[in-house]
Amino acid sequence: MRAEVVFSSRVDEIRATAVSRAGVGLTVAAWLTSATRFFADGAFALLFPADCRICHEPLVQASRLPVCQACRDSIVPIEGNLCSICGERMVTFSRSFPDAQAEPEPCGLCRRAAPKYSRAVAYGAFEDALREMIHLLKYDRVLPAAKLLGNKLSDALRQTPAPNGGEWLLVPVPLHVSKLRQRGFNQAELIARAALKRRPVDAVLNTKCLVRHRETVPQAGLTRHQRRENLRGAFAVRDTGAVRDRDVLLADDVFTTGTTISECARVLLRAGARSVSAVTVARVLKADRIGIERVEAERAA
């Protein structure tokens, strides 16, 4: 019954679209293409009824990604006054700082202890539909989600200033071989490859130079000091020639506290990299960190 209602609504939408476009010179071929698409979507909803994996509303469009358009459109860039180094959202007081166009500045933590990386840029906040989309890829193995996430990473890549050499060495944060075998893919690599298809920056992908040769316990729930100790010695550069005198851009799905990015940057700089920056699809904001880490630990268990 639900599928029939959806199909009927698609038919009504076709009629409404035809009427609205008739006055703007819609050609017969274009109308047929549009109508074919609408009927295909209606047939999909009728023959293969399914719900959006995020909002659980009925899907009315044929797509390999089981997420409705409304949820896709709700994924927006992070906003606010962001730290110029780590990308954390900072609290500002408009009465004290009336100039909203002022240049970004480092947050207090980055001023007190500058991280190993030069800059970290994230597309959006790790919440709502963006968080669920990453979970679909990472835990539920919905591989078509990599393309949408790659598009978001591509937008973040465009925000990273070009290095002096003009070309980035894009390095996905690696998984340990046991985790890679269990999951079947490295989500950071899938997202990075999808992002580069849009050619947002001049970059060369290298998935071999950095390896994770020691398995670590999940980072969720650990203090900052425990995170550093957990990751100490976990990464190594396998090909120093590939990174020497290069500007490296680390790519990952989520930036939580920056401990993983900092450890990767440390070993890359020791191997001779000229600079190391980072780009991620999402960033955990400090105000949301405790609750999100609990959820992430439960999902990873």
Q: Is residue 272 part of a domain?
A: yes
DSSP character at residue 57 = P
Question: Which of 43, 73, 103 is the last residue before a domain boundary?
Answer: 73
Predicted local confidence at residue 165, as pLDDT: 74
Domain co-membership, 279 together with 192: yes
Domain co-membership, 150 together with 39: no
Domain co-membership, 187 together with 264: yes
CATH assignment at residue 196? 3.40.50
Q: Are 294 and 220 spatial neighbours (Cβ–Cβ below 8 Å)?
A: yes
Q: Whole-angstrom Cα distance, residue 273 to residue 64?
A: 39
Domain co-membership, 35 together with 134: no
Q: Whole-angstrom Cα distance, residue 140 to residue 7?
A: 28
Domain co-membership, 209 together with 138: yes
Percent of the chain with pLDDT over 90: 61
First to last CA, the chain: 38
Domain co-membership, 296 together with 198: yes
pLDDT at residue 8 greater than cutoff 70: no
Q: Which residues contact 249 (CB under 8 A, 6 or more apart)?
A: 157, 160, 168, 169, 170, 171, 203, 276, 277, 278, 279
Domain co-membership, 55 together with 180: no
Burial of residue 48, with CB atoms counted within 10 A of its CB: 0-12 exposed, 13-18 middle, 19 or more buried: exposed
Q: Is residue 125 part of a domain?
A: yes
Contacts within 8 Å (CB) and 24+ apart, 132-135:
132/53, 132/54, 132/71, 133/54, 133/67, 133/71, 133/75, 134/187, 134/253, 134/254, 134/281, 134/282, 135/299
pLDDT at residue 99 greater than cutoff 90: no
Question: Which of 73, 101, 129 is the last residue before a domain boundary?
Answer: 73
Question: Which of 73, 99, 132 is the last residue before a domain boundary?
Answer: 73
19-61 residue pLDDT tens: 444 444 456 666 566 555 555 545 444 444 599 999 999 998 8
Domain co-membership, 131 together with 49: no
Domain co-membership, 146 together with 202: yes
Domain co-membership, 272 together with 174: yes
Q: Is residue 237 part of a domain?
A: yes
Q: Whole-angstrom Cα distance, residue 141 to residue 259?
A: 25
16 φ, ψ (degrees, to nearest 5): -65, -40
Q: Is residue 109 part of a domain?
A: no
Q: Whole-angstrom Cα distance, residue 220 to residue 241?
A: 34
Q: Is residue 282 part of a domain?
A: yes
Q: Is residue 243 part of a domain?
A: yes
Domain co-membership, 69 together with 125: no
Q: Whole-angstrom Cα distance, residue 180 to residue 187?
A: 10
DSSP H helices, 23-144, are 28-47, 69-73, 108-112, 128-138
Domain residues for the domain of 8 are 2-73
pLDDT at residue 9 greater than cutoff 50: no
Q: Average per-residue pLDDT in the chain?
A: 83
Q: Is residue 99 part of a domain?
A: no
How many domains does the chain fold into?
2
pTM of the model: 0.79
Q: Which of 202, 104, 196, 122 has its CA nearest to residue 162?
A: 202
Q: Are 242 and 206 spatial neighbours (Cβ–Cβ below 8 Å)?
A: yes
Q: Which residues contact 155 (CB under 8 A, 6 or more apart)?
A: 77, 123, 200
Domain co-membership, 37 together with 165: no
214-247 residue pLDDT tens: 888 776 667 777 777 778 889 999 999 999 999 9
Q: Is residue 82 part of a domain?
A: no
Percent of the chain with pLDDT over 70: 74
